[in-house]
Chains A and B, each alone.
Chain A
Amino acid sequence: KQEVTQIPAALSVPEGENLVLNCSFTDSAIYNLQWFRQDPGKGLTSLLLIQSSQREQTSGRLNASLDKSSGRSTLYIAASQPGDSATYLCAVFTSGTYKYIFGTGTRLKVLA
């Protein structure tokens, strides 16, 4: 059974810092991994999708890497801003299923 863990659970940083969010999964047989952002009381916004054959994806100040064999992904946020404050979730799409399994998220607060 696929299990997804995210650390840290919460993070508070001053504006301008570069930061790394971690996601680990127990079953490396995945088709893809996706990072989302969730603002309080809102739905999920897709940030980056990494296919199993890829090592990383970039969008603006965001960079996500994937090491499928070790069951790990990281989301790197460069030059953090207060507007980046949100909960960040990773989800894996496991081979042989139609399911996206989520981690419990990292709640990020960027202080001005």
Chain B
Amino acid sequence: SQTIHQWPATLVQPVGSPLSLECTVEGTSNPNLYWYRQAAGRGLQLLFYSVGIGQISSEVPQNLSASRPQDRQFILSSKKLLLSDSGFYLCAWSGGGWITEAFFGQGTRLTVV
């Protein structure tokens, strides 16, 4: 069966520090991968998605970047964190194609201080 792993679960980082959040999927190949952010009391905002290795689409201009170095690995990064980067970050995957279900990781709570 397919599983998605996301870590760390919580993170407290100072302003200006770098960030690296990792997400890996097991039990499937060539998944579509997604990074979402959920700010307190708000909905899920799509940040990045990837349909293949090295293929990254960015949805909003921001202080973050994403990379997909391997088929089932998706990394969210920042060189210098801002206070506004605080939030709940969720990774998700779905199978290739159109009629497909999305599955989410357990999320990372990032607090920038």
B-contact bits for A87-112, CB 8 A (1 contact / 0 none): 00101010100111111110000000
Chain A residues, Cβ within 8 Å of B98: 31-32, 93, 95
A58 within 8 A of B: no
* Number of A residues, CB within 8 Å of B: 25
Partner of B102, one of A41, A91, A105: A91
Chain B residues, Cβ within 8 Å of A32: 98-101
19 contacts between A and B (CB under 8 A): A32-B98, A41-B107, A41-B109, A43-B106, A44-B90, A45-B104, A46-B102, A46-B104, A91-B102, A98-B49, A99-B46, A99-B59, A100-B34, A100-B46, A101-B46, A102-B36, A102-B43, A104-B42, A104-B43
B44 within 8 A of A: yes
- The answer on a CB contact under 8 Å between B46 and A105 is no
Q: How many angstroms between the C-alpha atoms of A98 and B105 in the bound complex?
A: 18
Q: Which residue of A lies closest to B46 (CB)?
A: A99
Q: A34-B102, A46-B104 are in contact. List 10 more A-B contacts (CB 8 A).
A: A32-B100, A41-B88, A43-B106, A44-B104, A91-B44, A93-B98, A98-B32, A99-B46, A99-B49, A102-B43
- The answer on a CB contact under 8 Å between B104 and A43 is yes
If over half of A's interface residues share one DSSP class (helix, strand or loop), that class is named, otherwise mixed; here it is strand
Partner of A43, one of B32, B100, B105: B105
Count, A-B residue pairs, CB within 8 A: 59
Within 8 A of A (CB), among B75-113: 88, 90, 92, 94, 98-107, 109
Distance in Å: Cβ of A88 to nearest Cβ of chain B? 12
Distance in Å: Cβ of B65 to nearest Cβ of chain A? 18
Chain B residues, Cβ within 8 Å of A41: 88, 107, 109
- The answer on a CB contact under 8 Å between B42 and A49 is no
Q: How many angstroms between the C-alpha atoms of A32 and B97 in the bound complex?
A: 11
Q: Which residue of A lies closest to B44 (CB)?
A: A102
- The answer on a CB contact under 8 Å between B102 and A100 is yes
- The answer on a CB contact under 8 Å between A46 and B103 is yes
Partner of A31, one of B36, B49, B90, B99: B99
Within 8 A of B (CB), among A21-70: 31-32, 34, 36, 41-46, 49, 51-52
